[in-house]
A and B are shown apart, each in its own frame.
Chain A
Amino acid sequence: MKEDGKMSKKIKVKAQDVNVFYGEKQALFDIDLDIERNQVTSLIGPSGCGKSTFLRSMNRMNDTIDICRFEGSITLDGTDIYDKNIDVVELRARVGMVFQKPNPFPKSIYENVAYGPKIHGMVNNKEDLDKTVIKSLKRAGLFNEVKDRLDESGTSLSGGQQQRLCIARAIATRPEVLLMDEPCSALDPIATAIIEELIDELRQKFTIVIVTHSMQQAARVSQKTAFFHLGKLIEEGATDEIFTNPINKKTQDYIMGRIG
């Protein structure tokens, strides 16, 4: 059907019946969620609601936890990312990640960004690599601030700059999806605003999923919002709707700061 064809083009990541367990404990219950292309989707909910677990399921970061077990399916452009033929390292180049605390490598600013393209064999020569590094730094809105000191250590930058360096590093491998796990929670309001502006620009090129504890941030940066509670997806929809007129009582209580 034509309609279906249109929809599947719009959808970048599709999660169906996702259940995740840490040993005996079930962390996610039957999650169905579509992530749309070139949109920012924010995942909100109280601590321990499963939003980070879900985020990490999308590039198989949970594989690194021995007791973690995944059921269901997540597809990236229709390909099951949990298929046994999937190369996880390659997957993580396609689905990049930015973490809560900026974690630059203890290397130069240049090397931080160059590392990914180099190990993934994405560049042929030094000239290509230089171009990729500069382009990534520019896209991350950091280039002008660091162009004269690319040889300095990444850890010498301020917190906000470090986070933008991590974003530059994540986008250097030209991912299709960018996962952000509370990228601004360690930053001051100005650095936060710069990252939010950046997120809005990056969505032209990438599909972005962001986990945030700040409802205001979710309201500001995302087009779609999904609310998780006790491992379940309670409500998802257009961000405008979720913050002005949510349907579910649990969502209402959470975003309004009421005791359910």
Chain B
Amino acid sequence: MEHLSSEHIVSAYSEELIDLANDISKMGGMVENAILQSVDALLKQDKKSGKQIAKNDRLIGDMQRKIDAKAVSMIARRQPMASDLRLIISSIHVANDLERIGDMAKNIARRIKYIKGAELSKSFYIGVRHMSEVTLLQIKNALNAFANRDVKAAIAVCEQDDEVDALYMSIFRELLTYMMEDPRNITQCTNLLFCAKNLERAGDHATNIAEAAYYLETGENLQVMLDERHQEQDGE
């Protein structure tokens, strides 16, 4: 990787920075897994997996605290500058977004018991599965953009957020029709709607991570850049 072409004179500092980046990757893996597990449990209506998911959520919280503590310690002891400073600051942001995605996974798992017995069409469950896959891909791509300081990939994640939003809207409409068809579905459908909303919000956190990746590499704000680009295009 280009940014590591020059090493720190103090090698322990280099090691700490690498360690921090590795922790983010590790936490990213934990969170991706949490979403995967909870959506699986939701679709299988598997209440038993809830305990495991709650336990994983505690581990994710521990990881966030660990990353924050490392970042604070490095700021205090190393007086980081330029891209080192940006890595440390954006790691704090990314760890926070990951922790929130972890919460989304936990919320989904919590609702499993309320949707018991919902018998909706097969295509609906395929839709939820699809939305979770797109969201997971967004999270994965955002984390890769962060790890590789890949500006193009970061922009792509932000631009694809619309897809997650559109999938959420279509699930919303579908659930609405089920509720109108048979009011007995309302409880289950409302809870399923919350689950879809949680996935949609997880997607929003993925774009935050992509923004952090963009900032890490360029020192600039991705949303501001995109807004300016859109204004230019509108002007043409």
Contacts and interface: CB of A to CB of B under 8 A. Distances in A.
Interface of A: 215-216, 219, 243-246, 249, 252-253, 255-260
Contacts of A215: 79, 81
Contacts of A246: 82
Nearest to B7: A259
A258 B8 contact: yes
B29 interface: no
B28 to A, nearest CB: 25
A253 B79 contact: no
B115 interface: no
Contact of A255 (B7, B9, B81, B218): B81
A18 to B, nearest CB: 27
Contact of A244 (B8, B13, B79, B82): B82
Given A252-B82, A256-B83, 16 more contacts: A215-B79, A219-B81, A243-B81, A243-B85, A244-B85, A245-B82, A245-B218, A246-B82, A252-B83, A255-B81, A256-B80, A256-B81, A258-B8, A259-B6, A259-B8, A260-B6
Nearest to B4: A258
A258 B6 contact: yes
Interface string B56-79: 000000000000000000000001
Interface string B96-114: 0000000000000000000
A259 B6 CA distance: 5
A244 B86 contact: yes
A79 to B, nearest CB: 37
A259 B9 contact: yes
Nearest to B215: A245
23 contacts: A215-B81, A216-B79, A219-B81, A243-B82, A243-B85, A244-B219, A245-B86, A245-B220, A246-B82, A249-B6, A252-B82, A252-B83, A253-B6, A256-B80, A256-B81, A256-B82, A256-B84, A257-B8, A258-B6, A258-B7, A259-B7, A259-B9, A260-B6
Most buried by B among A215, A216, A244, A260: A244
B9 A258 contact: yes
A257 B83 contact: no
Interface string B1-31: 0000011111001000000000000000000
B219 A245 contact: yes
Nearest to A241: B219
A225 B85 CA distance: 18
Interface in B207-222: 218-220
A213 B79 CA distance: 14
Contacts of A257: 8-10, 13, 81
B179 to A, nearest CB: 51
Contacts of A219: 81
A253 B81 CA distance: 10
A110 B60 CA distance: 65
Contacts of B6: 249, 253, 258-260
A44 to B, nearest CB: 11
B145 to A, nearest CB: 18
Contacts of B7: 258-259
Contacts of A252: 82-83
Most buried by A among B10, B13, B81: B81
Contacts of B86: 244-245
A244 B86 CA distance: 7
A139 B84 CA distance: 38
Contacts of A249: 6
Most buried by A among B83, B86, B220: B83
A260 B8 CA distance: 9
Contacts of B81: 215, 219, 243-244, 255-257
A143 B10 CA distance: 42
